[in-house]
Structure 1
């Protein structure tokens, strides 16, 4: 049997795959013992206990009373390497994974049996940020894990560049001078760049969720012509300049402050 050869060569994972296939075809209870041995060597004690129970209750006449007693003793031997974990999540319908394997959806009906040691817990639900954490299972007492999933805020990444000493306004609010980079909500936005004595430049943009956009907004070097509606632009520039002088130092504390790390935004161009 290929599984036995792999087991002897200490390739336990692939040996287990071979033994599983063999059992599916033959339903031979002896194969379950080899599967249990592989799981034990891989440190999967909950699976060892499950296989031992399966052997003990196997309907085949090939399973003797001694075999069933050995199976019970095996389950008892690995019991100290198994613990319980209770996972409570604030959202129903979230998928729970332990070490990459699905363990059910919330709310879970009962505590989960897990192997002692470090276990990776991952909980996912569409529209919410993924929860992932490595927990230490000591086996001394059950572990209670309370998880609060946070709803995703659809956002995009925006980088705006302007000329020297030119003010950048986003949706009517000054956010920076010469260069501004940050995370903004999806949808439409208005950019305005101004400088004293220069013609302002305005641009409407629309951003999609996860998009990264770079926008150049440097003003033309030519000064505005005399007459006409220049006073309107000059007044707008003066207002923005006054706002910038009084508040640009606090820009980094506004709600439009750039986020340097966002797991839900894929930046698709070099920003620097």
Structure 2
């Protein structure tokens, strides 16, 4: 079966391919004897076999029940298996009933390219009428992007890479345009397209900067430093490269606050820091008298005897390796 559209109501009817055979026979009888007509193609139900035929029959049943989306899927699969272009016509009829007129035009264009005489002149007259109706119901997007090689999608369907070869035919209504290229921020916008209208879309892509925002709130007299660099006092807000950073907040008489923070691309990190006073113990005095050390704690005196000459350590046998500098510049 091939789904065909009458000239007055292109989206209303299904016509069996056996009618095509009958029309071919009539045309052959009317043709001059010296110019025999090409034999009519056998109906799809007779040509298709196996899984292609099963998908075709199920698609026909789904179409009759008004399930045009699943009918399209079955016809599409049957076409992939058989490459019979008459299935493209069935697919176009399904899209027409789904009001996806831009898809109708795409399928008709494919049908024109791939037909090898299976479609009759009467078929093409009906197809032309359907095509004219579909063109009156679509719009065009004229998309210009500042960067070449960017991927463009419209309603999540690929439209190509920039620069696009021409205007993009779209169904009327609200269309979602997405443009993406590595190294640049993704650009998404929504455009309203009226039937028969042309919408010019100019997009300037912005380079992607790997940085985020940081906001630190601390006591008024606290000094805020990031990676060893003083940023400000009390509060600081600014842009920071993405990645890990060392934050330090200090104030007189307070225990320093130190933490590692992670900055994400295009995200805001907020941090509120509260400092605690430095812990203080009892007052302690130390003094040395002769061979003894006296330690005063304020309420008692502890006396200990310090032997100024400890016993000699036993000798260590071995050799010392070469000296090496330490982190503070001395030598072992």
What is the TM-score with the length of structure 2 in the denominator?
0.57
Unaligned ranges ≥5, structure 1: 227-272
Q: Relative to total residues, which structure has the larger helix share, 1 or 2?
A: 1
Matches of 2:267 and 2:190, distance apart in 1 = 31
Residue in structure 2 matched with residue 173 of structure 1 by the alignment: 231
Q: Deviations over 1:193-246 (max 9, x none)?
A: 2334324445565656578878785434325799xxxxxxxxxxxxxxxxxxxx
Once the two structures are TM-superposed, the CA of residue 38 in structure 1 deviates from its matched residue by 1.4
Distance 1:206 1:51 in 2: 51
Superposition map of 1:242-257 within 5 A? none
Deviation readout 1:113-154 (Å, 9 max, x if unpaired): 222221111111112211111111113442110001112221
Once the two structures are TM-superposed, the CA of residue 85 in structure 1 deviates from its matched residue by: 1.5
Q: CA separation of 1:54/1:94 partners in 2, compared to 1, >3 Å: closer, same or farther?
A: closer
Out of 120, 125, 129, the residue aligned to residue 176 of structure 2 is 120
Contact 1:49 1:74 in 2 (8 A): no
CA–CA distance in structure 1, aligned partners of residues 148 and 128 of structure 2: 37
Alignment of 1:193 onto 2:232: no
Cα 1:150/1:57, change in 2 over 3 Å: closer
Change (3 A) 1:193 1:59: closer
**Structure 1 residue corresponding to 2:68, chosen from 12, 33, 48:** 12
* Normalised TM-score (structure 1): 0.68
2:99 is matched with 43
CA deviations over 1:155-201 (Å, ceiling 9, x no partner) = 24657576x66636143122645xx7876322464423233432444
The structure-2 alpha-carbon separation of the partners of 1:141 and 1:175, relative to structure 1 and needing over 3 Å to count, comes to farther
Change (3 A) 1:214 1:136: closer
1:157·1:210 contact (CA, 8 Å) conserved in 2? yes
Q: How big is each residue's C-alpha offset from its partner over 1:77-123, in whole Å with a ceiling of 9 and x where there is no partner?
A: 21111222111111111100011111111111212122222111111
Q: Secondary structure of 1:102's partner?
A: strand
Match of 1:150 in 2: 206
Q: Which has the higher contact order (CA 8 A, sep 6+)?
A: 1
Per mean C-alpha deviation after superposition, the further-off stretch among 201-210 and 167-176 is 201-210
Distance 2:251 2:105 in 1: 74
Structure 1 range deviating more: 72-81 or 206-215 = 206-215
Provide the aligned length of Structure 1 versus Structure 2: 223
In structure 2, the gaps of 5 or more residues are 1-56, 284-332
Partner residue of 1:52?
108
